[in-house]
């Protein structure tokens, strides 16, 4: 399998780490932006940039809400984001198998 | 912790591939593994810690109760306070730890966790009411109250773990629940002062074994993630 077949949205290591982290949550779960940022150890600006791209691709759903007076942003992987991550992992496994033979 | 994969270079566009082109498939799979491991250890409660805390609390607390009452007398006041203090400490640790790990998340899992947590609270509040009712109905024998209190408490623990095992699909937790029900039965049937020794060894010991099994078998497997 050629490397070009890999999903370019997930391919950037920063976005791969973001998607991998969101994939550890259950399908019905969301995580607040600061918590996600801490798990990834990324800067807020950097994380926002990558999340926007993932959102544009339909892989991440963003919910902006208020808790008391504080605005909170929740992130979750969409069904298609979860499917894309699974396909990406399978493609990597195939590449690895191809390299081994 | 210095893995700065978020290079600004890939802010140029989705199709920009130069930022990660040097990573091969194996390195990418490792990257996924490492990040998911880190996410899980940040989000999931550490069962080893919680089992350990409850194991120590039951073992030390009930051993103190048994030690000061093994000749058939009432347990010493200090033993009662030790047990109560250790239980409260384990409870506070469990709540602070679990709430801390689920901080900043919402949805099905945190709702399930909250319902499970409230289940414990409701169970023990009801136990307090039941014991109170029994005392009002004329139960005055301290030994009977003690045996009933330990038996009911251990029954609640066992049933809650059965429920947890079902909800979280955690076989280990379910097995611990069965063990706690067995502990409740044996502790009650043995009677004082043996009740306290059974609670210490079977109950506290059960927690510690569960913690050890989690540390040695379950934890490394769970950390390794879903895809082998």
Answer for the pair B207, B54: CB distance below 8 angstroms, yes or no.
yes
Q: Tell me if A48 is assigned to some domain.
A: yes
CB count, 10 Å around CB of B116?
A: 15
User: Cβ contact (<8 Å) for B20 and A16?
Assistant: yes
What is the per-residue pLDDT across B49-88, written as a single tens digit (0 to 9) for each? Answer: 999 999 999 999 999 999 998 888 888 999 999 999 999 9
Phi, psi of B201 (to 5 degrees): -80, -50
Average pLDDT, chain A: 89
Mean pLDDT for the stretch of residues B100-111: 92
- Whether pLDDT at B118 is above 70: yes
B-chain residues near A4 (CB < 8 A): none
Q: Tell me if B97 is assigned to some domain.
A: yes
Q: How confident is the model at residue B222 (pLDDT cuts 50, 70, 90)?
A: low
Residues B156 and B190: their CA atoms lie apart, in Å, by 19
Q: Tell me if B118 is assigned to some domain.
A: yes
The sheet that has A29-32: what strands, in order across it? Answer: A60-67, A70-77, A29-32, B105-107
**C-alpha closest to that of A34 among A81, A74, A83:** A74
Q: Tell me if B94 is assigned to some domain.
A: yes
According to the model, what pLDDT value does residue B19 have? 47
Domain of residue A36, residue span: 3-96
- Alpha carbon A79 to its chain centroid, in Å, reads 12
Q: Closest to A28 (Cβ–Cβ): which among B10, B42, B107?
A: B107
Instruction: Report the CATH number at residue A21.
Output: 1.10.10.10
If interface means Cβ-Cβ distance under 8 Å, which residues of chain B face chain A? 1, 3, 5-8, 10-11, 14-17, 19-20, 23-26, 28-29, 31-32, 35-36, 38-40, 42-43, 103-110, 227
Q: Tell me if B15 is assigned to some domain.
A: no
Q: Tell me if B59 is assigned to some domain.
A: yes
Q: Tell me if B1 is assigned to some domain.
A: no
Residues B55 and B141: their CA atoms lie apart, in Å, by 29
pTM of the entire predicted model? 0.82
According to the model, what pLDDT value does residue B225 have? 54
- The residue among B91 and B225 whose pLDDT is bigger is B91
Which residues, other chains included, contact B44 with Cβ-Cβ below 8 Å and sequence gap of 6+? B101, B222
What is the per-residue pLDDT across A32-57, written as a single tens digit (0 to 9) for each? Answer: 999 999 999 999 999 999 999 999 99
What is the per-residue pLDDT across B135-187, written as a single tens digit (0 to 9) for each? Answer: 999 998 888 999 999 999 999 999 999 999 999 999 999 999 999 999 999 99
Q: Tell me if A74 is assigned to some domain.
A: yes
Mean pLDDT for the stretch of residues B199-228: 82
According to the model, what pLDDT value does residue B217 have? 86
Average pLDDT, chain B: 87
A15 three-state secondary structure:
helix
Number of domains in chain B: 1
Phi, psi of A62 (to 5 degrees): -110, 125
Tell whether A65 is within 8 A of chain B (Cβ).
Answer: no
Number of domains in chain A: 1
Q: Tell me if A101 is assigned to some domain.
A: no
Whether the CA torsion B41, B43, B44, B50 is positive or negative: it is: positive
Domain of residue B85, residue span: 44-226
Q: Tell me if B22 is assigned to some domain.
A: no
CB count, 10 Å around CB of B70?
A: 14
């Amino acid at each position: 399998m050629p490397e070009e077949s890999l999903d370019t949205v997930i391919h950037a290591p920063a976005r791969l780490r973001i998607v991998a982290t969101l994939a550890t949550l259950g399908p019905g779960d969301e995580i607040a932006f600061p918590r996600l940022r801490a798990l990834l150890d990324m800067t807020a600006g950097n994380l926002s940039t990558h999340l926007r791209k993932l959102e544009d691709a339909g892989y991440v759903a963003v919910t902006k809400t208020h808790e008391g007076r504080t605005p909170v942003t929740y992130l979750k992987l969409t069904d298609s984001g979860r499917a894309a991550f699974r396909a990406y992992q399978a493609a990597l496994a195939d590449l690895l198998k191809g390299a081994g033979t | 912790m210095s893995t700065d994969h978020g290079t600004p270079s890939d802010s140029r566009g989705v199709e920009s591939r130069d930022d990660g082109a040097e990573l091969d498939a194996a390195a990418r799979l490792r990257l996924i593994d490492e990040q998911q491991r880190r996410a899980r250890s940040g989000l999931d409660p550490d069962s080893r810690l919680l089992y350990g805390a409850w194991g120590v609390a039951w073992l030390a607390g009930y051993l103190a109760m048994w030690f000061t009452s093994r000749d058939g007398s009432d347990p010493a006041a200090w033993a009662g306070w030790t047990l109560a203090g250790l239980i409260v400490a384990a409870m506070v640790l469990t709540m602070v730890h679990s709430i801390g790990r689920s901080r900043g998340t919402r949805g099905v899992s945190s709702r399930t966790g909250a319902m499970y947590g409230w289940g414990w609270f409701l169970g023990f509040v009801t136990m307090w009411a039941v014991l109170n009712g029994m005392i009002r109905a004329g139960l005055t024998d301290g030994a009977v109250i003690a045996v009933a209190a330990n038996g009911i408490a251990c029954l609640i623990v066992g049933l809650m773990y059965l429920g947890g095992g079902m909800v979280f699909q955690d076989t280990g937790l379910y097995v611990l629940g069965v063990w706690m029900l067995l502990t409740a039965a044996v502790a009650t049937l043995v009677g004082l002062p043996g009740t306290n020794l059974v609670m210490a060894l079977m109950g506290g010991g059960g927690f510690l074994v569960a913690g050890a099994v989690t540390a040695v078998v379950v934890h490394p497997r769970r950390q390794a993630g879903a895809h082998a």
